[in-house]
């Protein structure tokens, strides 16, 4: 396996500490050693006898280095766009009026169902590539725009196949057939919920990691969510929940009760929700772009003060957020949620790994994946200054991808 030595790292966020004048040794796809350059050992047992014999040595020019970022909430599998609908919204058209005109999630479902698999795959591939090039090495990716058994399972398989291609981020695939009720089930929501429960075993077999439900008064109630999440958990899928996005019907309380892997969005979460998530140890995934669009802010400081693990997501989707850039999300978390830079960076790395139950990434420490980003900056404060901090170089599993 290739042994790489990265030297002259000006500032290094390891996921736990900031180190100045640091160095890192990579063996294969894992970190073998990391620390101050002055403490770089001559040899590392089981890795290399003499550090001067490293296969590759790279001087990073005093730059800022972090673990690869983790986007913990996205919806990337869709076709078409809803730009006309977004224009209507900006002119004051209500969601109900847009839905009556054929807009909303249903419009994306119609276009996605009518798009050939090759075209759909190419679109998703291009989006995922953008994430990796901007410094995001792991992406949580939901299905949810086919809303048929075969279509949703095909989306799971599509994501798994793309992950194996060069130049793609690592993926955590979430089965979101419970996104909304499709038109063919109009008036038969319970039948659709029962169907999703039966599809979960096939989703797990196809390669899904988790199962999610959009739980609010306009989509699925708490009992529907409980049924679907229980069915998913029974076949090994990690339960997640879109909670308190537009209103509060008890979704965060349900996420705590069911010990979900994450409770997401939380725009309308209250003090009792924060306490419940804290007691249950359920991580919260917050999405600044969506909060900004909705004009509602989740109780971020209360969550932090209560010891809830926070992760960040772009909430990329065709209806509200076209963003695939986690540096923008970090910057917005600082300015909109009043998080410190290190709080936001932690949420975009360690917090994301916690929410995805992926202990092999999110930090630069021995035996973790060597998912690394060199930024166009020499201090982490640049994330608060730039809304789109540039990734100069990205390594996925020790291999440079740009």
Same domain? 55 vs 73: no
Token duo for residue 45:
């047992």
Q: What is the pTM of this model?
A: 0.97
DSSP string for residues in 163-215: HTSTT--EEEEEEEEETS--GGGTT-HHHHHHHHHHHHHHHHHHT--EEEEEE
Same domain? 320 vs 219: yes
Same domain? 133 vs 35: no
Min mean pLDDT across 9-13, 209-213, 245-249 is at 245-249
pLDDT tens digits, 183-228? 999 999 999 999 999 999 999 999 999 999 999 988 999 999 999 9
Question: Which residue, 361, 265, 364, 279, is CA-closest to 321?
Answer: 265
Whole-angstrom Cα distance, residue 239 to residue 229?
5
Whole-angstrom Cα distance, residue 307 to residue 168?
33
Give the pLDDT band of residue 96 (cuts 50, 70, 90). confident
Give the pLDDT band of residue 99 (cuts 50, 70, 90). confident
Same domain? 176 vs 31: no
Same domain? 118 vs 155: yes
Whole-angstrom Cα distance, residue 130 to residue 71?
12
Same domain? 251 vs 383: no
pLDDT tens digits, 17-66? 999 999 999 999 999 999 999 999 999 999 999 888 899 999 999 999 99
Residue 322's φ and ψ, nearest 5 degrees, are: -95, 5
On average, the pLDDT of the chain sits at 96
Same domain? 103 vs 248: yes
Same domain? 208 vs 325: yes
Same domain? 186 vs 150: yes
As a 3-state breakdown, the chain gives helix, strand, coil percent values, each rounded to 5, of 40, 25, 35
Token duo for residue 36:
């101050």
What CATH number is attached to the domain comprising 105? 3.20.20.140
Same domain? 317 vs 173: yes
Residue 112's φ and ψ, nearest 5 degrees, are: -65, -45
List the domain range (segments joined by +) for residue 169: 69-355
Q: How many angstroms separate the first and last alpha carbons of the chain?
A: 20
What CATH number is attached to the domain comprising 26? 2.30.40.10
Same domain? 304 vs 370: no
């Amino acid at each position: 396996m290739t042994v790489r030595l990265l030297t002259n790292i000006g500032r290094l966020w390891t996921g736990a500490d900031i180190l100045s004048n640091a160095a890192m040794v990579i063996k294969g796809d894992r970190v073998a050693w990391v620390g101050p350059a002055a403490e770089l050992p001559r040899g590392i047992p089981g890795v290399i006898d003499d550090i001067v014999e490293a296969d590759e040595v790279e001087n990073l020019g005093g730059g800022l280095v972090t673990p690869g970022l983790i986007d913990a909430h996205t919806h990337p599998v869709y076709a078409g766009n809803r730009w006309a609908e977004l224009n209507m919204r900006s002119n004051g058209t209500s969601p109900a009026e847009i839905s009556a005109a054929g807009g909303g999630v249903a419009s994306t479902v119609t276009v996605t169902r009518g798009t050939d698999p090759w075209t759909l795959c190419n679109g998703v591939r291009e989006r995922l590539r953008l994430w990796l090039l901007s410094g995001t090495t792991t992406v949580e990716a939901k299905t949810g725009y086919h809303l048929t058994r075969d279509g949703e399972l095909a989306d799971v398989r599509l994501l798994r196949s793309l992950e194996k291609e060069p130049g793609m981020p690592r993926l955590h695939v979430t089965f979101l057939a419970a996104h909304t009720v499709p038109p063919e089930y109009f008036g038969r929501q319970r039948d659709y919920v029962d169907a999703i429960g039966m599809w979960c075993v096939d989703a797990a077999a196809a390669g899904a990691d988790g199962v999610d439900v959009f739980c609010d008064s306009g989509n699925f109630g708490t009992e529907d969510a409980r049924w679907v999440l229980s069915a998913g958990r029974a076949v090994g899928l990690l339960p997640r929940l879109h909670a308190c996005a537009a209103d509060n019907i008890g979704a965060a309380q349900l996420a705590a009760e069911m010990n979900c892997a994450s409770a997401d969005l939380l725009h309308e979460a209250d003090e009792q929700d924060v306490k419940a998530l804290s007691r249950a140890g359920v991580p919260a995934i917050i999405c600044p772009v969506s909060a900004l669009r909705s004009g509602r802010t989740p109780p971020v400081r209360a969550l932090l003060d209560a010891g809830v693990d926070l992760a960040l997501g772009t909430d990329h989707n065709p209806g509200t957020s076209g963003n695939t850039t986690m540096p923008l999300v970090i910057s917005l978390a600082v300015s909109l949620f009043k998080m410190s830079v290190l709080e936001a960076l932690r949420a975009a790395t360690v917090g994301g790994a916690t929410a995805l139950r992926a202990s092999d990434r999110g930090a630069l420490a021995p035996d973790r994946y060597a998912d690394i980003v060199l930024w166009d900056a020499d201090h982490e404060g640049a994330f608060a200054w730039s809304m789109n901090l540039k990734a100069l170089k990205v390594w996925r599993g020790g291999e440079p991808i740009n």
